[in-house]
Amino acid sequence: MNHFLDIHKTDAADLRGIIDSAKAVKNARNGKPKGALDADLPLKDHMVALIFEKPSTRTRVSFDVGVRQMGGQTMVLSGKEMQLGHGETIADTARVLSRYVDMIMIRTFEEQVLLELAEYSDVPVINGLTDRTHPCQIMADILTYEEHRGSIAGKKVVWSGDGNNVCASFIHAAGQFGFDLTFTGPEVLDPEQGFVDLARSKGAKIEIVRDPAEAVAGADLVVTDTWVSMHDAQSARERRHNQLRPYQVNEELMSHANPDALFMHCLPAHRNEEATNVVMDGPNSVIFDEAENRLHAQKAVMRWCLGK
């Protein structure tokens, strides 16, 4: 069995295999109704726990639907309602859950919770977002890019805005899938240097460019995310808006990218804040394909976790 904890902790060959399997799994459904079962039922007789310590629409629904399409059953749990939120250790929670379920997906705050759960779990654990990373999102994004434009290797991806958890997983992916990534944003919101160094050590060109127009020049893909993440203090909202406004993705900024550059946003979006509606709803935006591909990419991740 395999845990899916982060892009940089998974072999590059396995990541490529997951993307290719996601493409096959998606094509095999061939317009079937959403509730229809996949032909091979790889999760038949499997029970999957989906634990949420933060809100979610896409992660929650896509994992739930994905497990059911593969013939398994799900149990959606809120961290607050479990003993997890009332002092039971993560290690004991992992030991107990391993006796009941065949796989665990968790969305949490501190990365340490995910890591400890994986350390003491006898069943695969999947990272459904922590304060530091969001690997499932980036698997869906790579799938989406490649469906529209072919291999992402050697392409230029520009992240504009907050160097947050989603940005971190994009940086990890640059190292694993062989694309270049330019970050543009205010210095105080730079991505973690350790993540940048790691991707560089794997041969990725990671650049930090303060001027957004200069950063976006020649981009094949422009990505942004909310200016205030779930783990950020709401009191920081006004300050962050002031810091990030110059990095809004709008028509003017996109005009510096390659004419066929795609636009991505993991959603949920604050429309006309981090990106304008003209860009989000424009012809180069693939935001809803990304959302759909969460389902297909995660089904492939779950198969890989179970060795199926």
Quick check: 204 binds ligand CP (CB under 6 A)?
A: no
Tell me the one-letter amino acid at 101: V
Burial class from Cβ neighbours inside 10 Å (0-12, 13-18, 19+) for residue 269 reads middle
CB distance 117 to 104 below 8 Å: yes
Applying CB under 6 A, among 73, 229, 250, 284 the residue interacting with ligand NVA is 229
CB distance 138 to 177 below 8 Å: no
Quick check: 303 binds ligand CP (CB under 6 A)?
A: no
Nearer to ligand NVA among residue 18 and residue 166 (C-beta): 166
CB distance 102 to 123 below 8 Å: yes
Applying CB under 6 A, among 8, 58, 68, 155 the residue interacting with ligand CP is 58
Distance CA 219, CA 51 (A): 37
Only segment of 52-60, 193-201, 211-219, 237-245 that touches ligand CP (CB under 6 A): 52-60
Q: How far is CA 162 from the centre of its chain?
A: 15
The SS3 assignment for 183 reads strand
CB distance 161 to 188 below 8 Å: no
Only segment of 13-21, 201-209, 224-232, 240-248 that touches ligand NVA (CB under 6 A): 224-232
Least distance between ligand CP and beta carbon 249 (Å):
17
Whether the link from the prior residue into 42 is cis, omega within 30° of 0, is: no
Nearer to ligand CP among residue 59 and residue 176 (C-beta): 59
CB distance 225 to 166 below 8 Å: yes
Quick check: 160 binds ligand NVA (CB under 6 A)?
A: no
Distance CA 123, CA 158 (A): 36
Has 266 been annotated as catalytic? Answer: yes
Catalytic-labelled residue, pool 134, 172, 265, 296: 134
**CA dihedral (240, 242, 243, 245) positive or negative:** positive
Only segment of 14-22, 110-118, 152-160, 222-230 that touches ligand NVA (CB under 6 A): 222-230
Catalytic-labelled residue, pool 8, 132, 265, 294: 294
Query: What residues make contact with ligand NVA under the rule CB under 6 A?
Result: 129, 164-166, 225-226, 229-231, 266
Positions marked active-site: 107, 134, 137, 225, 266, 294
Query: What residues make contact with ligand CP under the rule CB under 6 A?
Result: 56-59, 129, 137, 266-268
Residues comprising the binding site? Answer: 56-59, 83, 107, 134-137, 165, 225, 229-230, 266-267, 294
Residues comprising the binding site for carbamoyl phosphate? Answer: 56-59, 83, 107, 134-137, 266-267, 294
